[in-house]
Amino acid sequence: MDMRIALVPGDGIGPDIVREAVRTLDKVASVYGHSISYKEIDAGGISIDKYKVPLTEDALESAKASDAVLLGAVGGPKWDHVPGNLRPEKALLGLRSGLGLFCNLRPAVIYPELSSASPLKPEVISGGVDLLVVRELTGGIYFGEKGRSEDGKSAYDVMRYSADEIKRIARKAFEAARIRHNHVTVVDKANVLETSRLWRETVSEIAGEYSDVALDFMYVDNASMQLVRDPRHFDVLLTENMFGDILSDEASMITGSIGMLASASLRDDSFGMYEPIHGSAPDIAGQNIANPIATILSAAMMLRYSFSLEKEAKAIEDAVASALSDGVRTKDIASSNAEYVGTEECGSEIIRRIK
């Protein structure tokens, strides 16, 4: 397969971690007989420095011309002084909206070797945790009509969803469940919200196309409790924008290691943008100590969801698990006073385990 990937290294540690993900992708391509071409794009703070804007039209067009986008991280204190509409983070919003990305996938995985980092009790996470939050990205209360009264003493934000918006995100969730453990949990507030009742009706309709996938429903307050009480209950959590924003952050915290967590943002076709959930950490940029695993795992998600290369994605994930099992640790996930490896060595340890 020929793959065209747009690289957005961004700011801070972004170039360091993207470099290791690229080396990993190149190894996979070599082992499995694929070819990859890369186009590097400036976005975020580096684009502000060069072009006075966080995302240029040329950069967006280059991203659109690719098959998928791999992003490192954007932002940092250097750009705290710029106006809000020109902050580096606007590059992310510009890419998501310009590329039509409506579906966010956020896995939360607790590796047995790192279970001590989780804030949850060992008996709660024994055997590991592996769940996926599927969040609708472009609708709901964040994008609905909003305003204030003339006297400024009352305000409103409208939560609105159409059946078509729900159908397209539901299909993404069911398709994801099919290559995981065949279980979707819809998280809503259907005892209060009319939009949630529409979600239930619409997802139940779509579930008829996926008879091999189990479906259940859970109120968001209960789901937030069950994530810390019994996270192993969940396979795929499907939810709207605001609930997904909150629950995906909660799910990431139960793993105890933010440097390990990948994400994907998808549109209707196979196109997607893939990125670690952590920030740019400019204080350690260029020092060969950043953890590249989240970005490497984001590259694995890219192979799975944009290129339908399940074996290749699994090869990367197995290599990461093998490296962790053999004691490979970067500074952020190493125990106190334990030895750790640098960014490049961590990448090399993973690469040599790809089979």
Q: Which of 49, 58, 157, 221 is catalytic?
A: 221
DSSP 153: S
**Residue 188 is a catalytic residue:** no
Cβ-based neighbour number of residue 277 at 10 Å: 19
Collapsing DSSP states into helix, strand and coil, what is residue 108?
strand
Within 241-338, strands assigned E span: 262-266, 272-276
SS3 208: coil
- 49 is an active site residue: no
Name the region of 27 (left: φ>0; alpha: ψ -120 to 50; beta: rest).
alpha
C-beta separation of 251 from 108 below 8 A: yes
Q: Which of 32, 78, 219, 249 is catalytic?
A: 249
189 labelled catalytic: yes
The CA distance from 297 to 233, in Å, is 23
Catalytic residue flag (residue 219): no
- Indicate which residue of 26, 130, 245, 318 is catalytic: 245
31: three-class secondary structure by DSSP: helix
One-letter identity of residue 95: L
Token pair 């961004």: residue: 10
Report how far residue 133's alpha carbon sits from residue 264's, in angstroms, rounded to the nearest whole number.
11
Choose, from 32, 38, 142, 219, the residue flagged as catalytic.
142
Catalytic residue among 189, 219, 314, 318: 189
C-alpha distances out from residue 296 to 22, 28, 176, 208, 239, Å: 8, 12, 19, 35, 26
Our answer to whether residue 142 is catalytic in this structure is yes
Q: Tell me the C-alpha distance between 332 and 12, whole Å.
A: 16
Residues forming the active site: 142, 189, 221, 245, 249
